[in-house]
Amino acid sequence: MGPKRTNLKRRRPYQHRRPSDSVSAQTSNEGCSSSSSAASSSSSSSSSSSSVPELPGFYYDPEKNRYFRLLPGHNNCNPLTKEMLQRKQMELERLKMLKEEENRIKSTRPGLNASMLVLKRSVGMIPSTTYCRRMHELKVSCMMSRKVQIDCPEEGVETGQHPFELMLADSNYKSVFTVNDADNGFCKFGLLSLNGLWKKSPTVKSYDTPYFANQKVNAACWATMTAPDSHILVCHQGKQESPGCVSLIPACLLKNMDANSDGRPELFYKVKISNTWSCAWSYYPYQMNNYAVGLRQQILLVNIVKNFRQAFKTESDVLAQQFATQSGLLYNGGRSGEVFAVDLRLPSTPFSWKKAISFHHRCSISSLRLLQDENYLMVSDMSGKIKLWDIRNVRPVKHYEGHNNSYALLPLHVKEDEGLLLAVGQDCYTRIWNLEDTRLLRTIPSPHPASKDSIPNVVFSPYLGGKHQKVPGLLMAVEKDLYHFSYNFKKSYSLK
């Protein structure tokens, strides 16, 4: 055999790749493809930062191509912290989405436009229910925001001085009960009349009642006593010097009207109940004038007329409640993640009662909503999961992705006739899903910078101000301002 051949090819020496090289290569690749959504922009920024080695106590800025030291926030005037960097990134994404919202002409389905829907409906190709839901889906994707002016009919009363904490519409969407955050830990109640939303410059009338300055409000719901939506049930948070309480306030008092104007005295009810988390009013025909309160490891059922109370001891705090209207069941959501129902028709004692239905989420429950077919229950928890449960088979049948929540009690808004599901996340984005196929139809950014103290409160209805006005859209309260997202019919018919 001949002599062994030597490999004359030289090996290239190992070259350490600097973070700047990787970032420059990645930015050149990113320049070839652009993204229009905020989610894709955040993912690209996270991928660029993930290619750079992380150093404990330092932050790498891809724009300046260098590391910066993270400083403790309590020792510096202008600290550079992870929280501040996250808020900066969120604010950039919010401003980008607001620019996209100004010229929004996007349809959620290819080929969906109003002209085609009207044509298919006229020849009988789609049923009326599908036509109605598709039209609302189309119009929701084209809603445009307008700022609403808040007027007060009383002289000497200034409006817009306190931020909104809660907004709750009545069954006819003519009035909205509001809770505003006042100074020194108190709050102020009010009532908004939505009769002026149809105007070119939308306005609402605010009936403020400064003498209703109570403790913070944990939960509230409309109640029917002398007439539909005649009262408001409010749960107050207690303090060291004063315990919590539950109040039943006549709506006429919030309008500064005479309680005896119609010849019938209005009931004002107040009872001391501490550690309240949730409340619900019963519309079941055989349990009228009843309400339930979720307490710390306890459920309290109260009949106002008979002054009757019944307690049910639970394993965890009750954070969400709703009565069934077709049966004697009370649905509850606990801090442990359990969703269970109490059959109020069966005899029971505080420590001896049986759960009619029980299933679990992995995190604390934040909201419950029964559908018109009460075999289905919509549940959201504090991990951002939204599921539609089939109560008969005790299993989830639909999942709605995209919601953001980690610890707050955020409500769900289910609109079955329109086929929509709405929820506001802790990131201050309002998301709208298709109720049938769980498709995320739209994500609306907040008009104000996102923070945990400025989560929007929303009300949606195709009949804002009552069915005689037919002003459709979304009413959003953020801090001290009020916005109306109205349907844009011109863009609905121009979508292709």
Q: In terms of domains, do 422 and 473 share one?
A: no
Task: Assess if residue 467 is contained within a domain.
Answer: yes
Task: Assess if residue 159 is contained within a domain.
Answer: yes
Q: In terms of domains, do 436 and 472 share one?
A: no
Q: Which of 279, 286, 298, 288 is nearest to 328 (CA)?
A: 286
Task: Assess if residue 95 is contained within a domain.
Answer: no
Task: Assess if residue 57 is contained within a domain.
Answer: no
Q: Which of 280, 317, 282, 283 is nearest to 297 (CA)?
A: 317
Domain that holds residue 374: 361-408+411-451
Backbone phi, then psi, for 167, in 5-degree steps?
-140, 125
Percent of the residues in the chain that have a pLDDT greater than 90, as a whole number: 42
SS3 of 5-67: the string is CCCCCCCCCCCCCCHHHHHHHHHHHHCCCCCCCHHHHHHHHHHHHHCCCCCCCEEEECCCCEE
Structure tokens at 455: 């989560």
Task: Assess if residue 415 is contained within a domain.
Answer: yes
Mean of pLDDT values over 454-463:
93
Q: What was the pLDDT predicted at 264?
A: 46
Task: Assess if residue 377 is contained within a domain.
Answer: yes
Q: In terms of domains, do 444 and 462 share one?
A: no
Mean of pLDDT values over 18-34:
39
DSSP, collapsed to helix, strand or coil, labels residue 328 as coil
pLDDT interval class at 339 (50, 70, 90) = very high
Question: For the segment 224-237, what is each residue's pLDDT rounded down to a tens digit?
Answer: 988 899 999 999 88
pLDDT interval class at 57 (50, 70, 90) = confident
Pairing of strands 329-334, 338-343: antiparallel
Q: In terms of domains, do 271 and 387 share one?
A: no
Task: Assess if residue 320 is contained within a domain.
Answer: no
Q: In terms of domains, do 391 and 464 share one?
A: no
Contact in structure between 317 and 300 (CB atoms under 8 Å):
no
State the number of CA atoms in the 13 A half-sphere of 226 facing the CB. Answer: 17
CA 308 to CA 351: how far, in whole Å? 18
Other CB atoms within a 10 A radius of the CB of residue 490 amount to: 9
Q: What was the pLDDT predicted at 261?
A: 47
Tell me the Ramachandran region of residue 455: left when phi exceeds 0, alpha when psi lies from -120 to 50, beta otherwise.
beta
CA 165 to CA 457: how far, in whole Å? 8
Task: Assess if residue 153 is contained within a domain.
Answer: yes
Q: In terms of domains, do 183 and 199 share one?
A: yes
Question: For the segment 253-294, what is each residue's pLDDT rounded down to a tens digit?
Answer: 877 644 444 444 456 778 888 889 999 999 999 888 999 999
More confident residue, 283 or 23: 283
Q: What was the pLDDT predicted at 258?
A: 47
What is the number of structural domains in the chain? 2
CATH number, residue 441: 2.40.10.480
The residues, ordered by sequence, that sit 6+ positions from 173 with a Cβ below 8 Å of its Cβ are 194, 459, 461, 463, 464, 465, 466
Q: In terms of domains, do 267 and 387 share one?
A: no
Question: What are the C-alpha distances in Å from 384 to residues 369, 378, 379, 398?
Answer: 16, 13, 10, 14
> What is the sign, positive or negative, of the torsion defined by CA atoms of 149, 154, 158, 163?
negative
Which residues share a beta bridge with 250? 231
The pTM for the full model equals 0.80
